[in-house]
Chain A
């Protein structure tokens, strides 16, 4: 699949992060991060451990516990930071977690239908009944190569690391968000799983949808070819380029990156 380079540079950004400063427990993690993402684009974010990639992902999704001390985030023109996490999700924002939680006793499909219907309700659409939903979820499970027996189990209950990651992508495929943030979805996936999951993600690529893909490895970007690659270091984007930047990093590491 070829990257979509035709996203109009003149269209209003889907996501616009400006000079974002974020603290956790009084410690500044993001120190003036700026990022602009337009519909149709795929952005890869790379960077050393602890540089603030997950913090950025969490801030976008609205996780409690972070303090924004400066800067702004706009999502198709709206002040994203003013919205509750569920409002962001209903408005098409999706985060595939680096560490998905296990919720014993909440069946995977049951929860996913609740989520789907909350979003449909927000969109003024009719709720989907259990039978129709099951058909849909089975189709999407096949798309991401997930065995049907995982559908009735508790959310991530007893799933292996890779199975949890697949489950995140299943949720994404079902909920069809507008902005997908994938936080190290490739970690924990075996080579075949990586390919299936990447194919699943590629099928979701569209001119209306944008993706922000956090990863440490070039191999994911062989499958999901990005339009832009950014290096996040010390709480800031220190370098941006096209897909060749990822190859460069793979060879020489972050040490050589100059702001």
Chain B
């Protein structure tokens, strides 16, 4: 869509806008390292100008809220306290990153930008991030309500937004955290979103990411998980928007008994390009990972799943499972799937499998023979395909996931919506 901006002009903007001088010393270092990383990145993406946040009303935001949640709302890359619902949140649970860097804590200095690396979109994000959430879960804290980090791109003018979240879950804490990336207007946007999530010993975190940008938007993101002793982190990822998107899951199981589970549903149509690389690093014995990635592609969509699993020599008694299932609804849709397993010990249970298929003609005929029309029948079968992922999601998310799937299905061939 847009033309690529040469690295030189990114550097020029970085200098002109004074990014190298924003925040305390360690933040400036992060930004400078980000710029370096970006300049040496092999893949480039269009960098749209930063722009001021445009106003939104409650009515604009309401459809994207998660009922009953503690909600931090971000608009065009900036925290919006007026639209947020954080009353009743445990004290010091949430701090906007923009405020946190003004009064940096040890936690921030220790962890911000220390885990997600500095490649491609992450580097760009490091250089230019404007805001995000710092979630500090004290040991033993159990947050009953889901925490919703809701970002909306207004799309009023071409703009890029860079969000950075840091979630530190103390030992045996528990919470559900949902990140939503919503696009609204018709202007081209670029969103980068990087989350570092550190789960301390015995922590239990359910995380979810809903990428629902407009088709005028691009989205590049990364979720870096560091899972401690006996901790369990689950991720539910839904990708439905953006002309081009790439969200990386990077999980490291750092100590004995650590467990990571991923369930992903990718829905793409028209000319959308959706890529979902995963890296799971078993760095300790008795660690467990399970990945289920399902894609439904229509039109001329292109999807890609690259699943990397590394089992280090010391990671004995490890179990790693990876499954990728893909459903093509058109002849023009295409899916690339590449499992990459690197295993350095014999004492493991490892499995992987991938399939690419179409809707069963027999099932479709059966449903039609009972009076159900072609489109409703295809929807039923598509819902059945996605069922496993939705069923495993946190109950608070299931209705949203179900309605996103139904909406996507209904709109997937509507000209203008997905062209």
**Residues of A contacting B385 in the complex (Cβ-Cβ under 8 angstroms):** 105
Interface: A118 (CB within 8 A): yes
Q: Tell me, in angstroms, the Cα distance from A119 to B387 when the chains sit together.
A: 26
Given the complex, which residues of B lie within 8 Å of A101, measured CB to CB?
Answer: 360, 362-363, 366
Residues of B within 8 A of A85 (CB): 365, 368-369
B383 at the interface (CB under 8 A from A): yes
Residues of A within 8 A of B376 (CB): 114, 118
Most buried by A among B367, B374, B376: B367
B residues 38-70 near A (Cβ < 8 Å) are: none
Task: Give the 8 A-B CB pairs with smallest separation, nearest first.
Answer: A105-B384, A89-B371, A115-B370, A105-B387, A85-B368, A118-B371, A119-B371, A86-B368
Tell me the complex Cα distance, A86–B366, Å: 10
What's the nearest-Cβ distance from chain B to residue A183, in Å?
Answer: 12
Asked whether, in the complex, the Cβ of B370 is within 8 Å of the Cβ of A89, the reply is: yes
Are A86 and B384 in contact, with the CB atoms below 8 A?
no
- Asked whether any CB of chain B lies closer than 8 Å to the CB of A98, the reply is no
Are A111 and B369 closer than 8 Å at their CB atoms?
A: no
Q: Which residues of A contact B372 (CB under 8 A)?
A: 86, 111, 114-115, 118
- Residues of chain A with a CB closer than 8 A to B361's CB: 64
- The residue of chain B having its C-beta at the shortest distance from the C-beta of A121 within the complex is B371
Total A residues in contact with B, Cβ cutoff 8 Å: 30
Residues of B within 8 Å of A, CB-based: how many? 23
Chain B residues with CB under 8 A of A116 = 371
Verify if B17 is at the interface (C-beta below 8 Å from A): no
Closest to B374 in A: A86
Q: Which residues of B contact A97 (CB under 8 A)?
A: 366
B380 interface residue (CB < 8 Å to A): yes
Is A106 located at the chain interface by the 8 A CB criterion?
Answer: yes
In the complex, the answer to whether A175 meets B365 with C-beta atoms within 8 Å is no
26 pairs from A and B in contact (CB 8 Å cutoff): A62-B368, A62-B369, A63-B365, A63-B369, A85-B368, A86-B368, A86-B369, A86-B370, A86-B371, A88-B369, A95-B369, A100-B366, A103-B381, A104-B384, A106-B381, A106-B383, A106-B384, A112-B370, A114-B376, A114-B380, A115-B370, A115-B371, A118-B371, A118-B373, A171-B370, A175-B371
Q: Which residue in chain A gives the minimum CB-CB distance to B391?
A: A105
B220 to chain A, nearest CB (A): 32
On whether A111 and B380 interact (CB within 8 A), knowing A90-B371, A101-B360, A118-B373, the answer reads yes
Does A122 sit within 8 A of B, measured CB to CB?
Answer: yes
Q: Does B388 contact A (CB under 8 A)?
A: yes
List the B side residues contacting A105 at CB < 8 Å: 383-385, 387-388
Contacts A90-B371, A118-B373, A175-B371 given; does A103 touch B383 at CB 8 Å: no
Which B residues between 344 and 375 are near A, CB-CB below 8 angstroms?
A: 360-363, 365-374
B residues lining the A interface (CB < 8 Å): 360-363, 365-374, 376-377, 380-381, 383-385, 387-388
Chain A positions within 8 Å of B, measured between CB atoms, are 61-64, 84-86, 88-90, 94-95, 97, 100-101, 103-106, 111-112, 114-116, 118-119, 122, 154, 171, 175
Taking CB atoms, residues of chain B closer than 8 Å to A114 are 372, 376, 380
Distance to closest chain A CB from B322 (angstroms): 21
CA distance A60 to B367 in the complex (A): 15
**Residues of A close to B377: CB separation below 8 A:** 86
- Does the CB pair A64–B371 fall under 8 Å? no
Chain B residues positioned under 8 Å from A90 (CB to CB): 371
Contact B365 A103 (CB under 8 A): no
Write out the residue numbers on chain B whose beta carbons fall within 8 Å of the beta carbon of A103: 360, 363, 366-367, 381, 384
Most buried by B among A63, A85, A119: A85
A112 to B373, CA, bound (A): 13
Bound together, the chains give a CA A63 to CA B369 distance in angstroms of 8
Known: A111-B367, A111-B380, A118-B372. 6 other contacts (CB 8 A): A86-B370, A86-B373, A97-B366, A103-B367, A115-B367, A115-B372
C-alpha gap A112/B382 in the complex (Å): 17
CA distance A104 to B368 in the complex (A): 17
Contacts of B367 in A (CB 8 A): 103, 111, 115
Which residues on the B side are within 8 Å of A64 (C-beta)? 361, 365
Bound-complex Cα distance A173 to B366 (A) = 17
